[in-house]
Amino acid sequence: MNSVDKIAVCSRSFSKNPILRSELLNAYSNVTFNDAGRQLKGEELLEFLVGHDKAIVALEPLDDFVLSRLPQLKVVSKYGVGLDGIDIASMHKHGKFLGWTGGVNKRSVSELTLAFILLMLRNLPNNNREVTSGIWRQNIGGMLSGRTVGIIGCGNIGKDLIEILRPFNCKVLVNDILEFREFYEHNMITATSLDELLRSSDIVTLHVPLDKTTEMMIGAPELKIMKPTAILINVARGGLVDEFALKNAIQEGDIAGAAFDVFAEEPPQDQELIKLHNFFATSHIGGSASEAILAMGRAAIAGLNINKIPEKYDAKLF
């Protein structure tokens, strides 16, 4: 047991998990948990981290304002995979180490994506609402088998989704800034432009990080390209899609519907959007399978032991 380092656990999910708490306390004796269950940011996050040598963070925003005021903090370990909340340049500038394991929750997220695809194709959310309101009729939906699925972002989650789509005999189109030629050839996948993917796909699903190159990557022009029968899925990051343009596109019939687990502002404030009969929303639960929580937590505990600054942090391995 390490009795020297002071550890701060910012994540509310990690802090309330008895297994992860026990395993961390077996490794470190001096731990501060976020037992208040507050979403920490800015001054409150800074106050929570002061006096600690290492920290486990989830969605807490670590910007230069926070990092520059924590000279004692040496290691930040990520509970989860997305790095968009961490100012990587500031981490380098202030000599802080990053513990991060890519793809640790990939199956949890890809399974949720599959669930979203199936429930939207079969019109299950609307059908459920009708049944619970006393309406009994057989809505006609569609099958996933044989459809064209467009995957934007072919990192850990995108690749895993391709794996679990195999039994459905879908045609898979991918768009990524990186080239995975051997993977594409092995899996008989077509890499194409974003426009062609949007134009040709029955289901479009996002699996990219949020950064300056991907922010609002799906807006009104992109939605206009999609088939009127197409479905848009976002279990990646809020801010990738212009939600106002999405609402208009659904209302005007430019696309058939959408299912989102993430929003630019959480919880989402646009009640018109989330109450549309062909829009389905969940509360950022992509990694919230019990197995994924343990895998992410254990990776975060292991990440506290990093002792060098990598040459660069690659957030593109989302």
Q: Which sequence positions are flagged as catalytic? A: 237, 266, 284
Are 200 and 150 contacting, i.e. CB atoms less than 8 angstroms apart? Answer: yes
Rounded distance between C-alpha atoms, residue 89 and residue 76, angstroms: 14
Report strand pairing: 257-260 vs 231-234. Answer: parallel
Q: What is the DSSP letter of 62?
A: B
Rounded distance between C-alpha atoms, residue 152 and residue 316, angstroms: 12
Instruction: Please name the residue ranges forming H helices in 18-82.
Output: 18-27, 42-49, 64-67
AA identity, residue 136:
W
AA identity, residue 304:
L
Are 230 and 257 contacting, i.e. CB atoms less than 8 angstroms apart? Answer: no
Are 240 and 216 contacting, i.e. CB atoms less than 8 angstroms apart? Answer: yes
CA 123 to chain CA centroid, nearest Å: 24
Are 75 and 306 contacting, i.e. CB atoms less than 8 angstroms apart? Answer: yes
Q: Is omega for the bond preceding 228 within 30 degrees of 0, making it cis?
A: no
Are 236 and 153 contacting, i.e. CB atoms less than 8 angstroms apart? Answer: yes
The total number of residues written for the chain in this structure: 318
Contacts of 140 (CB under 8 A, 6+ apart): 123
Rounded distance between C-alpha atoms, residue 48 and residue 269, angstroms: 28
233 forms beta bridges with 205, 259
